[in-house]
Structure formats: structure tokens, C-alpha cells
Amino acid sequence: MSEPKKTIRYVPCPSCGAQVAWLSENAFRPFCSERCKLIDLGQWANEQYRIPTKDDTPPDDDVLS
């Protein structure tokens, strides 16, 4: 049941989390696009995460006061 043909490997884009095909022709890997690559580089350069982004993680904090 195994297919020894070329298997496309997918990695999550570090910026937006989209599935990116790990292909040699994809010059922006592991990013999905040049835009995401620039965004990530910009975050590294600025070292500030004050950009309001959509959080998918639900507020799961156990507040013990």
C-alpha cells in the first residue's frame, strides 16, 4: 500500500500557518509567499509583536488569584 513515488512534503508557513509544499521551485519556503517571508523578517528586525493579529487560540487561562 506504499507509494514510492515522489511525496510532496508540506510544512506550515511560520507567518500564517498555511500548508506550504516543500518544493525546490518554491523560493520562499518554508513560507507560503514572499509576503509572509517579509512579514517574518520584519518581526525579527523589529522584535516587537504589537501587531494586532487574529488569535486562533481560545482563552484557556486558569486564573488562580
Question: Which residues would be at the binding site for Zn ion (CB under 5 A)?
Answer: 13, 15-16, 18, 32, 36
- Alpha carbon distance 6, 36 (integer Å): 27
Which is closer to Zn ion, CB of 11 or CB of 16? 16
Quote the least distance from Cβ 15 to Zn ion, whole Å: 4
Which is closer to Zn ion, CB of 57 or CB of 65? 57
Which is closer to Zn ion, CB of 52 or CB of 59? 52
What's the burial of 40, exposed, middle or buried (CB within 10 Å: 0-12/13-18/19+)?
middle
The residue type of 48 is: Q
